[in-house]
Amino acid sequence: MKTRITEMFGIEHPIIQGGMHFVGFAELASAVSNAGGLGIITGLTLKTPEQLANEIRRCREMTDKPFGVNLTFLPTLTSPDYPGYIRAIIEGGVKAVETAGNNPQKWLPALHDAGIRVIHKCTSVRHSLKAESIGCDAVSVDGFECGGHPGEDDVPNFILLPRAADTLKIPFVASGGMADGRSLVAAMALGAEGMNMGTRFMATKEAPIHDNVKAAIVAASELDTRLVMRPLRNTERVLRNSAVDRLLEKEKALGANLKFEDILNEVAGVYPRIMKDGDMDAGAWSCGMVAGLIHDVPTVKELIDRIMQEAHDIIRNRLAGFDAA
């Protein structure tokens, strides 16, 4: 399937694996790339630029296909060594970077000078237009359904994607609620040129996370996520567990007086305990509503091949049949 996204990133299928904390290691990124999509290493999960450089080398040993690195620009008092991470990406020969968080404009010249294409994650049309105006090559448009941070506008993809299509000149992919061939065809019908999947790729054989996490995703329905940190305007969609219930009780009790320090036990440093150790109540962890569409744990290749077969069948048979009628 050929789109501006497949052409831009040199991939066979218009499917991108989004950056995910303590999930996007070389094992998953290489599997996605080998299956014809664009795998992504999550940069800040690696604690130093040297560790990222080593992870890029590991991924290079596992695939000769294009893969990328996610780099999230955080509003923190103690900033990560972003110049070091950028250097590791450039020196590692990576040709795709997924940026997220704060405005990446400061880093675009160095990335573009190295021939790197940049796709920025956005949760609104206005942010997508800003990304286009500063020179991003593509955008990942995240609807309200998405796991992680959906922004504060609460606009789902059935509205957000056609709005983006009406205003953007650069290509974009749909993120949030993406799971199968139906997702891909629907996203493309609404104006996207591919899709970005996070939660769906967590429930694959190659995802380097505990089996408890994969089982929780398969067992969950579309009703099992919750929005946390809304009072702090740092909304995150997470899978419900006892820690999330405690967090929501604190939000309810403290109201406008809630501070980040009040919920540290539920959100700070919990990902290794969940993703590595399988402690499913250790804290809040990002998960999309799309869990309701996930019923198995295939290999990455089985998943991508199935998605593309479903997409082609829908286009050639179901939709063509309607048109002929």
Alpha-carbon separation of residue 248 from 110, 172, 257, 267, 321 (angstroms): 42, 34, 14, 12, 48
Put simply, whether the predicted model's pTM sits higher than 0.85 gets the answer: yes
Q: Which pLDDT score, from 0 to 100, does residue 184 have?
A: 98
d(CA 121, CA 198): 13
> Which residue from 4, 13, 7 is spatially nearest to 183, judged by alpha carbons?
13
Q: What's the CA dihedral at 104, 99, 76, 281 to 10 degrees?
A: 170
Under CATH, what is the fold of the domain 4-207?
A: TIM Barrel (3.20.20)
Angle (CA) 242 243 248, round 5°: 95
d(CA 268, CA 73): 18
Residue by residue, pLDDT tens for the chain (325 residues) are 999 999 999 999 999 999 999 999 999 999 999 999 999 999 999 999 999 999 999 999 999 999 999 999 987 778 899 999 999 999 999 999 999 999 999 999 999 999 999 999 999 999 999 999 999 999 999 999 999 999 999 999 999 999 999 999 999 999 999 999 999 999 999 999 999 999 999 999 999 999 999 999 999 999 999 999 999 999 999 999 999 999 999 999 999 999 999 999 999 999 999 999 999 999 999 999 999 999 999 999 999 999 999 999 999 999 999 987 5
